[in-house]
Structure 1
Amino acid sequence: MRIVSVTADGVRRGDVIDVGGIPHTVCDVREVSGRRKRLEFADGNAYVLGARVAIRVTRA
C-alpha cells in the first residue's frame, strides 16, 4: 500500500480515500460537467471532486 497525491483525473477504482476520518473505497468514477469527477464508493456514498483539487489516496 502506498499513499499518492492525485487530481480528479488520477483517481482510480480501488483507491481508498479518507473522508472525515472514514476510509471509502472507490468503486466507480464518472465525469460530470466541468471535468469534475463523481466518485462512487463501495458503501453507497458518493462525492464530486473538482477538476483541480488534489487529494491523497491509498493505492495497492
Structure 2
Amino acid sequence: MTKLRALGHTVADLWRSSALIQGIMALAGFFTICYLALVGRPIPEILAALVGSIIGYYFGTKERTKE
C-alpha cells in the first residue's frame, strides 16, 4: 500500500481508472489457461480468444499511458 502511495496512486485511484480491474482480469484469465494446461484439459477457443483480447487491451492501455 505504501508503494502505491509513494507512486502517487491509491487503490481508489486505480479502481477509478480501472487499472486494478484490468490487471485482475488479465491475471485471472492467464492463470485459468495455465491451470487447464497443467491438468491436461483442453482450453476452449473462446476462452483463449477472450484472454488474449483482455491481455492485449491491458498492455495496450499501459503502453498508451506511458506516452
Question: Larger relative contact order (C-alpha < 8 A, sep ≥ 6)?
Answer: 1
Q: TM-score, normalised by structure 1?
A: 0.21
Return the structure number with greater helix share: 2
Q: Which has a greater percent of strand?
A: 1
Who wins on radius of gyration, i.e. which is larger? Answer: 2
